[in-house]
Structure 1
Amino acid sequence: MKVLIIDEMHPSIIPLLEDLNYKVDYKPKISREEIQASLSDYVGMIIRSKTPIDQALLMHADRLKFIARAGAGLDQIDLEEVTRRGIQLFHAPEGNRDAVAEHALGMLLMLFNRLHIANQEVKQRVWAREANRGIELKGKTVGIIGYGNMGQAFAQRLSGFGVRVLAYDKYKSGFSDAFADEASLSEIQKQADVLSLHIPLTEENKYLLNKEFLSQFNKPFYLINTARGELIQLETLLWALEEQILLGACLDVLENEKLQTLSGEEETLLDQLAAKEQVVFSPHIAGWTHESYRKINEVLAAKIKGAFKNH
């Protein structure tokens, strides 16, 4: 039984799969054409985000029994075609939920305390105390959209900060716990000082945060997006900041993350956002810690073992 790994992975994945009696072909530099040419030889494939797992690719997957996504998002995978072919699909949000939660909180604290500004100023021998007076998180209401692995982990990290946490999840009910109170979207729009997104990208929620949605918030708020850039357009972000609907934004993801392919309009919008002190960026690394790199492998191996323990 052979497994093909098509992306860079923590090296622990190979012995984990070998312990399950798989022969592993680790080919992180493999091209899409080479994947198509060889896929019929494999019962499993481990992926990150190299290439869309679509019908054109899967038509070569004669023997494929599982696909394991080293991460949380499944938006590059044709879920309908995978299901139609009886291929089991595994992903590993449990592996990087702690990393995402800590990163989201870190970005928010940095923005509130102007650490991204103050750090650079002191390095340039500028000692501007009043200009860098911060904002306290205590007493704020934090809204979370999506209360799965990531949303729950973020709520847990907030528990020591004296905030009220309201969580909305379209696919769950009765999930209030020690860390968050279940709420409707409209309740979050009425009360939130901070909004954090923890939902996957689907056709249904693409550009969820449009002008109409944002205009329904009762007061200016801060946005954290460690989920997917396509939940809000750059143009809408800039508009919301200039209209003071948004007080600031922590952005780990962008609508187009291939910065070398930005259109002229996208370049201009990104430059305008980057010029704003109340915007903090990171390059899609919220779930990208040394610890999560290994934990993702362990989660995937455990799920593969559980699914095929009788094989």
Structure 2
Amino acid sequence: MKILIIDEMHPSIIEMLAKLGHEVAYFPKITREEILNAVAEFDGLIIRSKTPMDRELLEKAVNLKFIGRAGAGLDQIDLDYMVERGVKLFHAAKGNRDAVAEHALGGLLALFNQVIKADTEVRKGIWDREGNRGHELKGKTVGILGFGNMGRAFSKRLSGFGVKIMAYDKYKMDFGSDLVQEVIWEKLKSESDILSVHVPLTPETRDFLTLEQLSSFAKPIWLINTARGEVISFATLNAALDQGILRGAVLDVLENEKFQKFNPAQKMEFEKLAQRENVIFSPHIAGWTFESYEKINRVLVKKIKKAFND
């Protein structure tokens, strides 16, 4: 097959696909217009998230047999039209689930132990032990929203910390274990000290965490979001932090990740959020490790091989 790669990938993928007999065109800087002009000649596309796989583009891909998504999120892909066309979809959540889990845990520990604030102060010659007193994870109840690859991997990382783990997933059942208690949403809200979000972006999850939802938790919580920023808005985060509904937040994703495209309200709310010492940011890198960069290739190629070469 002829396969077009339109985003930056670990270079190992070219050799891996070539060994299976495929012809690979690697153009990570290709523009959408160039993709539209060239895609008809390709049997496969390997993508990250730069270019939406909408109906306009997919209609041009007349020979398309599969799309390989180097990552987990599928919100920029017209899934219904792919089913209609019979185009296969492979994604690589297993390739970066460990990275996401470790990042979520690392952010939580940094938040609990005032690591960012303390480091900044010490560099300025401020030695404030009491002002940087931390919290212990042991004894807390961690609620996991979404128990797919990422949520499950995160629960495993928590196993040695002496926490109680609860998980809610609307679309999964019978996943409970000795480590994780499967619960309904109301039960999770009644006991959690920490909420870690691991859901995809869908019409159902967009703005799911409203102020009303957060207010219905039985006690103030710490929030971790390594999933999709659109699940909770800047305005909701600020309101919840102002009202003490949230005790702090670890945010690897944002409602809008293009700073230059903030509307005035987003700009104002983000600037307020950025002043908070109990909020830790990172630029959507939870799944972006040196190891996951290569593991994603192995996951995708294995799926392509199983579908077309075995």
Bin the TM-score by the shorter chain: over 0.9
CA RMSD in angstroms comes to 0.7
Look up the match of 2:56: 56
Tell me which amino acid in the other structure corresponds to 1:97.
R
Does residue 282 of the first structure (1) align with residue 282 of the second (2)? yes
Aligned to 1:259: 259
102-111 or 178-187, larger mean C-alpha shift: 178-187
The letter of the residue matching 2:260 is Q
Q: Deviations over 1:207-256 (max 9, x none)?
A: 11012211110100000000000000110110000011000010000010
Verify: 1:39 aligned to 2:36, yes or no: no
What is aligned with 2:130? 130
C-alpha distance in 2 between matches for 1:94 and 1:283: 21
1:196 deviates by 0.2
Q: Which amino acid aligns with 2:183?
A: A
Q: Given the two structures, how large is their TM-score scaled by the length of structure 1?
A: 0.99
Deviation at 1:266?
1.1
CA distance in 2 between counterparts of 1:294 and 1:163 reads 32
User: How far has the Cα of 1:175 moved from its partner?
Assistant: 0.7
Q: Deviations over 1:95-134 (max 9, x none)?
A: 0000000000000000000000001111111111111011
CA distance in structure 2 between the partners assigned to 1:84 and 1:15 by the alignment: 32
1:177 counterpart letter in structure 2: S
Q: CA deviation at 1:204?
A: 1.3
**Residue aligning to 1:112:** 112
Deviations 1:175-199 (A, max 9, x none): 1123211011001110000000001
Counterparts of 2:255 and 2:286 in 1: how far apart (Å)?
16
- Check whether the contact 2:20–2:309 (CA below 8 A) recurs between aligned residues: no
Query: Residues 1-311 of structure 1: matches in 2 within 5 Å?
Result: 1-310=1-310
- For the residues of structure 2 that align with 1:287 and 1:134, how far apart are their CA atoms? 27
Alpha-carbon offset, residue 309 of structure 1: 2.5
Distance 1:179 1:249 in 2: 24
Mapped to 2, the partners of 1:64 and 1:185 lie a distance apart of 40
- Select between 40-49 and 205-214 the one with higher mean Cα deviation: 205-214
Distance 2:225 2:179 in 1: 20
Query: 1: distance between equivalents of 2:137 and 2:205?
Result: 28
Q: Unaligned 5+ residue runs, structure 2?
A: none
* 8 A contact 2:16–2:301 mirrored in 1: yes
Q: Percent identity?
A: 58
Moved more, 232-241 or 175-184: 175-184
In 1, Cα distance between equivalents of 2:116 and 2:274? 12
Q: Is the deviation greater in 255-264 or in 191-200? A: 255-264
Distance 2:269 2:242 in 1: 12
SS of aligned partner of 1:214: helix
> How far apart are residue 19 of structure 1 and its match?
1.2
Q: In structure 2, what is the Cα distance between the partners aligned to 1:179 and 1:13?
A: 36
Cα distance in 2 for partners of 1:299, 1:105 equals 24
Task: Tell me the secondary structure at the aligned position of residue 59 of structure 1.
Answer: helix
Q: Which amino acid aligns with 1:267?
A: K
| One-letter amino acid matched to 2:249 | A
Query: Displaced runs of 4+ in structure 1, greater than 4 A?
Result: none
Contact kept? 2:69, 2:92, Cα under 8 Å: yes
Question: CA separation in 1, counterparts of 2:277 and 2:39?
Answer: 48
1:141-188 Cα distance to aligned partner (Å, 9 max, x none): 000011111001000000000000000111111111232110110011
CA distance in 1, matches of 2:203, 2:134: 38
Q: Distance in 1 between matches of 2:221 and 2:59?
A: 47
Report the residue type matching 1:170 in the other structure.
Answer: K
Q: 1:50 Cα shift?
A: 1.2
Q: 1: distance between equivalents of 2:244 and 2:23?
A: 56
Task: State the alpha-carbon separation in 2 of the partners of residues 243 and 124 from structure 1.
Answer: 30
Task: Give the structure-2-normalised TM-score.
Answer: 0.99
